């Protein structure tokens, strides 16, 4: 039945619709004089609201939130519990879509952001696993700063939100995980530092409580399985011991909240020990908000409140699901579930209005901190517009990040770098040799533009291009002939192989770690017939078992480039021809395929178990031989030598005298130590003994005294330093003793083991004796 449209519209909507129409950016036409979006709330031209207390910029935010809350009806409140938050025209508030994404550039994965008009694209940085491989924390923060400039510009133009559900800081626990690419890798300390730095970059690190954009660390917690062997994330119950939870899974989230001061955390789809994370008050209310002091909001994964009812049948009714989630500490639902079922939960007495209010205090506070209730939009970020997106310097940073993230896995001869003089022609082979969107991985947007590997190499030398396989699945050998012929003729051969989102993605974990289809055969055959050096370039998020190439003398060099972003082809060529000296290191272990047979993806244990033959996970706990490349592996074109300049042999941990002696196994509780400012200082000399300038990643590991529940080795500090050829640099390293020299006991208590710890830097080993002051000596 057809009805005249306006008979359905309530009259109060008319002014709003009118305003929307006239104030939406005119777009294409006035590029240099772009208009701002209409204020979200507290429009200075709206006489009815502009002087209400919640609009008064000078009042404290808590007071403004209280005032606004006191004016909302219950129905209006319920409409604000979902990502597609309804408008409150009565109070001059527009609708707001909370869901935007900015994992490694402004993305259009969430409905809050779209491209077009004045904003055809945004800078597409490398996928996170690649950027992590740089081990350069200031780069991580700088990328966050640039991404949030572009996000603010798009918000001003009416194309994006201010609440970004990034980064993903789950531990890359299993090499098969389809979303491992989105994460900073397998080490909790690297992931924690990445989280804090990227979040600070995004949120602007502003004085007071202000936010440039609001970031979100996800997915809390123990979520790192998408769909494996009949188990999917909507039904997965992760069984996690207290020890593993504290020692591994919660570390990046703790750092994100406490160091990064993130404005949001997202709970995950899966259950942990039988309770859906989004309905677990111990995780949300007690840990994130209580123990870590989140100043921000907790959001569900998309439809995860629906999932805990519909898929997991965790509650008998949808109203109970709504009540459980809100009472557990959830503040916002991605999806419609709370909008539909919260009223019923209130009517049925499962929930009180005050529970809804405490959720809204958290979301409204973040909106106020973002300036959404400040009216005009003339704040410091109000001037950002289309000309601040895809700028030359932003795109240069994307290129720099790609260069810094490339890892040189093998360099026999050495065959790299190539030279323009000697390698006048290069055969460029492989299904990823001329790709664009493959280079930006998932949770991406629309890039400003691309340089493919073929184009990048073509800037240095003449190329002969044959894919060899029509795509990464490489189902047959039909196209091998031309590729082999090209390799026979050219002075050097570059094979760009690997994976893409058809192999590893959200919803899709891998079954194995080998190159798909006939890729391995293509590499071997091409290498066998190459006239010159053969370089294998692996483009992938997760690790690949390339042992065949590591052992093949005809494959002279191997590079891992991750998903290197929009400028990936330039970065690859710069490394191949030596205009950039590679300094990336693997942020995750590369296992051999056989490793998988002993490791069900559903087993969350990080620690090995001799009784069951379970080998353990990651460099921290796996000691077996089934490795292709270890965590932290990566060569340079130069040669760095370390020496320890200064390091204490004894370190004394002051113990707070108020506590009675609860030392167990000669390890003191971290909560009993005086941790503030307690750091161990070392100085390491890094000498560049080669003839090329280069950046070096200094990795400092520690092994705790034996018998102390700990990993056999743990990264405790890292630093990225640039060292010109034939020079030496003294690098100060500070190790946070309570955080990083501690281990977690079986009951989940973090303790500092007394006795001999050993620190390792490259080949150097330094023994450090840790002792504590006797109880009672320190006065409280």
Ligand X SMILES: *[C@@H]1O[C@H](CO)[C@@H](O)[C@H](O)[C@H]1NC(C)=O
Return the active site residues: 301
Least Cβ distance, residue 507 to ligand X (angstroms): 4
Task: From 149-157, 428-436, 525-533, 768-776, give the range in contact with ligand X by CB under 6 A.
Answer: 768-776
Q: Give the distance from CA 613 to its chain's centroid.
A: 32
**Distance between CA atoms of 263 and 134, rounded to whole angstroms?**
26
φ, ψ (nearest 5 deg) of residue 599: -130, 90
Q: Which is nearer to ligand X, 277 or 772 (CB)?
A: 772
Alpha-carbon dihedral sign for residues 304, 307, 308, 309: positive
With b for 16 or more beta-carbon neighbours within 10 A and e for fewer, the 734-756 pattern comes to ebbbbbbbbbbbeeebbbbbbee
Task: Give the interface segment with ligand X, choosing from 138-146, 322-330, 425-433, 560-568 (CB under 6 A).
Answer: 138-146
CB of residue 207 vs ligand X: minimum separation in angstroms?
Answer: 23
3-class DSSP state of 352:
coil
Q: How many residues touch ligand X (CB under 6 A)?
A: 22
Min CB(372)–ligand X separation in Å: 18
Shortest Å distance, C-beta 581 to ligand X: 10
Nearer to ligand X, 65 or 653 (CB): 653
Cβ distance to ligand X smaller for residue 288 or 733: 733
Site string for ligand X, 721-760 (x = CB under 6 A): xx--------------------------------------
Residue 197 Cβ, how far from ligand X at the closest point, in Å? 11
Interface with ligand X includes 663 (CB under 6 A)? yes
Q: Which of 341, 720, 739, 750 contacts ligand X by CB under 6 A?
A: 720
**Can you tell me whether residue 109 is helix, strand or coil?**
coil
Give whole-number Cα distances, 708 to 225, 749, 751, in Å: 29, 12, 9
Quick one: which of 138, 579, 683, 747 contacts ligand X (CB under 6 A)?
138
Q: Which residues of 321-344 are buried (b: 16+ CB within 10 A; e: fewer)?
A: bbbbbbbbbbbbbbbebbbbbbbb
| Closer by beta carbon to ligand X, 139 or else 699 | 139
| Cβ 695 to ligand X shortest distance, Å | 4
Residue 759, phi then psi, degrees to nearest 5 = -100, 140
Between residues 241 and 311, which has the closer beta carbon with respect to ligand X?
A: 311
Phi, psi of 628, rounded to the nearest 5 degrees: -95, -50
- Which of 455, 449, 467, 456 minimizes the C-alpha distance to 403? 456
Nearer to ligand X, 212 or 403 (CB): 403
Tokens of 741: 């020299």
Alpha helices in 46-187 (DSSP H): 61-71, 74-79, 128-132, 137-156
Give the shortest CB-270-to-ligand X separation in angstroms: 12
8 A C-beta contact, residue 112 and residue 132: no
Q: Is residue 775 near ligand X by the rule CB under 6 A?
A: yes
Q: Does 13 bind ligand X (CB under 6 A)?
A: no
Looking at the Cβ atoms of 131 and 264, the one nearer to ligand X is 131
Q: Which of residues 88-127 bind ligand X (CB under 6 A)?
A: 111
Which one of the spans 5-13, 134-142, 209-217, 408-416 is the region binding ligand X (CB under 6 A)? 134-142
Binding mask 364-393 for ligand X (x = CB under 6 A): ------------------------------
Q: Distance between CA 699 and CA 686 in Å, rounded?
A: 12
- Closest to ligand X by CB, 85 vs 484, is 85
Point out which span in 3-11, 32-40, 132-140, 372-380 binds ligand X (CB under 6 A): 132-140
Sites for ligand X among residues 171-230 (CB under 6 A):
227
Q: Does 579 bind ligand X (CB under 6 A)?
A: no
394 binds ligand X (CB under 6 A): no
Q: How far is the CB of 533 from ligand X (least distance, A)?
A: 27
Binds ligand X (CB under 6 A): choice among 655, 733, 737, 738: 655
Site string for ligand X, 75-94 (x = CB under 6 A): ---------x-x--------
Q: Which of 68, 78, 81, 139 binds ligand X (CB under 6 A)?
A: 139
Residue 53 DSSP label:
G
Residue 503 is classified by DSSP as T
Give the one residue of 67, 209, 232, 357 binding ligand X; rule: CB under 6 A.
232
Q: Is 136 in the site for ligand X (CB under 6 A)?
A: yes
Torsion of Cα atoms, 119 then 123 then 129 then 132, to 10°: -130
695 lies in the binding site for ligand X (CB under 6 A): yes
Report yes or no: 278 and 234 within 8 Å, Cβ to Cβ. Answer: no
Residue 429 dihedral angles phi and psi, to the nearest 5°: -125, 160
Residue located via tokens 């093949």: 552
Contact predicate 706/667, CB 8 Å? no
Nearest residue to 107 (alpha-carbon basis) of 122, 129, 127, 128 = 122
**Dist. CA 748–CA 745, nearest whole Å:** 5
CB closer to ligand X, 138 vs 476: 138
Residues of span 397-436 touching ligand X by CB under 6 A: 400
Nearest distance in Å: CB 84, ligand X: 4
Range 506-528 burial, b when 16+ CB lie within 10 A, else e: bebbbeebbbbbbbbbbbebbbe
Distance CA 314, CA 637 (A): 56
Least separation in angstroms between residue 88's CB and ligand X is 12
| Calpha distance 605→620 (Å, rounded) | 12
Binder of ligand X out of 73, 420, 646, 661 (CB under 6 A): 661
CA 522, CA 475: separation in Å to the nearest integer?
A: 11
Comparison of 534 and 688: residue with beta carbon closer to ligand X:
688
Q: Which is nearer to ligand X, 33 or 393 (CB)?
A: 393
Q: How far apart are CA 121 and CA 109, in angstroms?
A: 13
Q: Which is nearer to ligand X, 139 or 575 (CB)?
A: 139
- Measured from the CB of residue 399, what is the shortest distance to ligand X in angstroms? 11
Check residue 148 for interaction with ligand X (CB under 6 A): no
Range list of β-strands (E), 351-412: 407-411
| Residue 534, strand partner residues | 493
Cβ at position 136, least distance to ligand X in Å: 4
Provide the minimum distance between the beta carbon of 506 and ligand X in the complex, in angstroms, as a whole number.
9
Q: Within a 10 A sphere around the Cβ of 10, how many other Cβ atoms?
A: 7
Asked if 772 touches ligand X (CB under 6 A), the answer is yes
Q: Between 295 and 663, whose beta carbon lies closer to ligand X?
A: 663
User: Does residue 357 belong to the site contacting ligand X (CB under 6 A)?
Assistant: no
- Comparing CA positions, the residue from 699, 553, 682, 573 lying closest to residue 634 is 699
Q: Is 143 helix (H, G, I), strand (E, B) or coil?
A: helix
Among 53, 290, 507, 645, binds ligand X (CB under 6 A): 507
Residue numbers at the binding site for ligand X (CB under 6 A):
84, 86, 111, 136, 138-139, 142, 227, 232, 234, 400, 507, 655, 661, 663, 695, 720-722, 772, 774-775
């Amino acid at each position: 039945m057809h009805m005249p449209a306006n008979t359905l519209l309530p009259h109060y909507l008319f002014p709003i619709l009118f305003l929307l129409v006239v104030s939406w950016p005119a777009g294409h036409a006035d590029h240099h004089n772009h208009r701002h979006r209409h204020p979200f709330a507290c429009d200075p031209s709206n006489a009815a609201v502009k002087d209400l207390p919640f609009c008064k910029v000078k009042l404290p935010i808590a007071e403004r939130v209280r005032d606004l809350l006191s004016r909302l009806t219950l129905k209006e409140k319920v409409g604000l519990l979902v990502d597609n938050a309804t408008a409150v025209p009565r109070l001059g508030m527009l609708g707001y879509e909370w869901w935007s994404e900015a994992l490694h550039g402004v993305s259009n994965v969430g409905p809050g952001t779209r491209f077009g008009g004045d904003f055809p694209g945004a800078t597409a940085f490398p996928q996170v696993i690649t950027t992590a491989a740089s081990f350069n924390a200031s780069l991580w923060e700088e990328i966050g700063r640039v991404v949030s400039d572009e996000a603010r510009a798009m918000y001003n133009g009416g194309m994006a939100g201010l609440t970004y559900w990034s980064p993903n800081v789950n531990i890359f626990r299993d090499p098969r995980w389809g979303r491992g690419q989105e994460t900073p890798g397998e080490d909790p300390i690297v992931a924690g530092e990445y989280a804090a730095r990227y979040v600070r970059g995004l949120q602007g690190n502003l004085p007071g409580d202000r936010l440039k954009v609001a970031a979100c660390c996800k997915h809390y917690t123990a979520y790192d399985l998408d769909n494996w062997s009949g188990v999917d994330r909507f039904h997965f119950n992760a069984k996690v011991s207290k020890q593993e939870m504290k020692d591994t899974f919660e570390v990046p989230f703790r750092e994100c909240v406490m160091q990064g001061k993130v404005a949001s955390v997202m709970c995950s789809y899966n259950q942990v020990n039988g309770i859906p994370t989004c309905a677990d008050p111990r995780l949300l209310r007690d840990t994130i908000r209580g123990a870590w002091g989140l100043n921000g909001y907790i959001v569900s994964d998309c439809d995860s409140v629906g999932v805990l009812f519909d898929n997991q049948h965790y509650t008998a009714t949808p109203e109970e699901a709504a009540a459980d989630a809100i009472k557990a500490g959830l503040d916002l639902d991605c999806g419609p579930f709370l909008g539909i079922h919260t009223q019923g939960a209130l009517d049925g007495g499962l929930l009180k209005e005050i529970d809804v209010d405490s959720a809204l205090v958290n979301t409204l506070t973040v909106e106020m901190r973002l300036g959404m209730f400040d009216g005009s939009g003339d704040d410091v970020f109000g001037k950002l517009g289309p000309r601040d997106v895809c700028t030359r310097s932003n795109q240069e940073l994307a290129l720099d990040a790609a260069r810094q993230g490339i890892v040189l896995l093998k360099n026999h001869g050495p065959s790299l770098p190539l030279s323009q003089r000697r390698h006048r022609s290069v055969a460029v082979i492989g299904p990823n040799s001329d790709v664009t969107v493959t280079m930006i991985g998932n949770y991406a947007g629309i890039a400003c533009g691309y340089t493919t590997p073929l184009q990048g190499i073509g800037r240095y030398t003449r190329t002969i291009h044959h894919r060899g396989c029509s795509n990464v699945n490489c189902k047959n050998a039909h196209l091998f002939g031309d590729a082999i012929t090209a390799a026979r003729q050219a002075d050097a051969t570059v094979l760009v192989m690997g994976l893409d989102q058809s192999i590893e993605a959200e919803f899709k974990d891998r079954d194995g770690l080998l190159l798909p289809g006939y890729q391995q055969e293509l590499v071997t055959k091409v290498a066998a017939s190459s006239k010159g050096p053969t370089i294998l370039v692996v483009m992938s998020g997760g690790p690949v078992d390339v042992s065949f190439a590591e052992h093949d003398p005809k494959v002279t060099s191997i590079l891992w480039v991750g998903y290197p972003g929009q400028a990936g082809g330039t970065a690859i060529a710069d490394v191949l021809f030596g205009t950039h000296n590679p300094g990336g290191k693997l942020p995750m272990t590369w296992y051999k395929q056989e490793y998988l047979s002993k490791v069900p993806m559903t087993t969350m244990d990080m620690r090995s178990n001799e009784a069951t033959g379970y080998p353990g996970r990651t460099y921290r706990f796996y000691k077996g031989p089934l490795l292709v490349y270890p965590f932290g592996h990566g060569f340079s074109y130069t040669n760095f030598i370390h020496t320890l300049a200064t390091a204490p042999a004894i370190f004394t941990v002051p113990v707070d005298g108020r506590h009675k002696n609860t030392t167990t196994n000669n390890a003191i509780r971290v909560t009993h130590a005086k941790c503030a400012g307690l750091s161990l200082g070392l100085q390491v000399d890094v000498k560049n003994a080669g003839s090329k300038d280069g950046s070096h990643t200094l990795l400092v590991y520690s092994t705790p005294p034996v018998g102390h529940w700990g990993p056999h080795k743990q990264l405790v500090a890292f630093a990225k330093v640039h060292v010109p050829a034939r020079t030496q640099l003294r690098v100060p390293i500070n190790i946070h003793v309570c955080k990083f020299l501690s281990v977690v006991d079986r009951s989940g208590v973090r303790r500092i083991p007394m006795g001999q710890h050993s620190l390792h830097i490259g080949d150097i080993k330094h023994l450090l004796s840790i002792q504590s002051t006797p109880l009672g000596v320190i006065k409280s």
